[in-house]
Structure 1
Amino acid sequence: MTKTTWKAGTMVYPLPAVMVTSGTMEKPNVFTAAWTGIINSEPAMTYVSIRPSRYSHELIEQNGEFVINLTTQDLLHAADFCGVKSGRDTDKFAETGMTPMPCKFVKAPQIAQSPVSVECKVTEIKKLGSHDMFIAEILAVDVDDSLLDDAGKLALEKCGLVAFCHGGYYGLSGQIGTFGFSVAKKKSRKQKIHEIKAKRRLEKAAHAAEESEEEEKTFKKRKPAFEHHERRDFEDRRRSDRKPRKFDRGERNFDNDEKPFKKPFAKKPFGDGRKEKSFGGRKPFRKTFEGKKPFADKKPARKPFKPKAQ
């Protein structure tokens, strides 16, 4: 193999294409950067190199905070737009449709659509020449819940991350190895079974999600039929809630607490206006002795004599 020697240049690729947010929630700003990475693990520290002419350079230097947001294929158009437009005269969030979201430890916003956002606080600024390096400590990492599996492990391969390589954007083809696989021992039978079960759990969860989507689609198709039954039920409830009509004779309306309706007699009661000829020209018997005891002026009859036994 032969190689050609070039002059010194920035030929270290691929690099992460990230969107760096700064400012505040009231006045947020975002720009795209590729010159960023990890420089320490304990404490966790990162950096981002920015030209002094950039508007974000002014905001980060003033506030001492920024947020690194990972870029996906869905956010690629917005990331490219934020890399060529300036925030001095353009509201990039409004133009791209991205949503600023508050962070927990810094005042700078994060991008809600980004799967991973890294909250950073500047500890040192190194002036290197064409760029200034902002060295910062990582205070927190905000991760989308949909990227976590049942065991709480982060699955970044699901979100479709984007890398920057020599002026172009490239997607990640997939995992081809893990750290230390060259010297790793062969997996035991127990480990293989554990991985198979974990894979089946993920497949089962994905299948359940697909079934729920299909059920929702079928429900939307059958919605007019459901609405018809719901309308009938509503009409039945409305009839039951309607004010009750007048009850029939002899019944009682307990809702209005009315007295029961007394059915009138077919004829007038005895002695009230009946013809006197039915009594032989005399007044009715009830009125004759009204208020008096019958035979009160007569003496009671004597008891028959009974001789005493001797």
Structure 2
Amino acid sequence: MNKLNFKGSVMLNPAPVVLVTSKNSSNKINIFTVAWVSTVCTKEPIIAMGVRPERLSYQYIKESGECVINLPTKDMVKIVDYCGVVSGKKEDKIKHFNLQLNEGISITTPSLQNSPLALECKVKSVTPLGTHDLFLLEVLNVKVDENLLDSNNKICFNKANLICYSHGEYYGLNSKPLGSFGYSVRKKSKKK
């Protein structure tokens, strides 16, 4: 199959899509959508997030030094889209959707009640890159809905009905895994 060449572009798709809650020094809370977010380190747990400086949440996160990354479900896709196009400078999006908040455990910023997973983060650094600045966020605490745990307390992400974003569209994630980490090299056990 022939390949076509495009100019350099961020075509890393699909991407996780998240709802980020933040607050300023006056305790005003905002929520906005981010699709440019990625795990970059496990010990200590660090997430990278690209944010435009003109976004209201950018100001809140820089001011407070913290935020919460809330993983949305298929049922939340309208909220995800709306919070990605409507500015918190013009509307209180939490009030618009009557979103319920949970108090922070490791930080003072609240998480979304209806998000099955919420990662409480502290800002490690901010690096200007161009249209976006790179936030490196240390994950201090993760809130997980207990109904996502199996009998061994393993988190079953397939039960969460999470979504992703790909080139302008939202998709539900298939709940059936194609394999597990290391399956391609795992030795088969011998039957006796």
> Scaled by the length of structure 1, what TM-score is found?
0.59
Indicate the percent of aligned positions where both proteins have the same amino acid.
39
Structure 2: segments with no counterpart, 5+ residues: none
1:22: which partner in 2?
Answer: 22
Q: How far apart are residue 49 of structure 1 and its match?
A: 0.8
Aligned residue-pair number: 190
2:80 partner letter: A
Q: Distance in 2 between matches of 1:113 and 1:26?
A: 21
Asked whether 1:185 is paired with 2:170, we answer: no
Looking at CA atoms only, which structure, 1 or 2, has the larger radius of gyration?
1
Aligned amino acid, residue 169 of structure 2: G
Query: Which 10-residue stretch deviates more, 55-64 or 168-177?
Result: 168-177
- 4+ long deviations beyond 6 Å: none
CA displacement at 1:109 relative to structure 2 = 1.0
Question: What secondary structure does 2:7 align onto?
Answer: coil
**Distance in 2 between the 1:157 and 1:127 partners?**
35
| 1:69 paired residue number | 70
1:200-229 CA distance string (max 9 Å, x none): xxxxxxxxxxxxxxxxxxxxxxxxxxxxxx
Q: Secondary structure of 2:74's match?
A: coil
Shift of 1:22: 0.2
From the two aligned structures, give the one with the greater strand fraction.
2
User: What does residue 141 of structure 1 align with?
Assistant: 142
SS at match of 1:61: helix
Structure 1 unpaired stretches of 5+: 190-310
Question: Could you tell me the TM-score, scaled by structure 2's length?
Answer: 0.94
Q: CA deviation at 1:97?
A: 2.5
Shift of 1:107: 1.1
CA RMSD of aligned residues (A): 1.6
Q: Distance in 2 between matches of 1:187 and 1:133?
A: 46
The answer to whether the Cα contact below 8 Å between 1:28 and 1:100 also exists between their aligned partners in 2 is: no
Contact 1:122 1:136 in 2 (8 A): yes
2:75 aligned counterpart, secondary structure: coil
Q: Is the 8 A contact 1:17 1:70 kept in 2?
A: yes
Higher relative contact order (CA 8 A, sep 6+): 2
Superposed displacement of residue 123, structure 1: 1.1
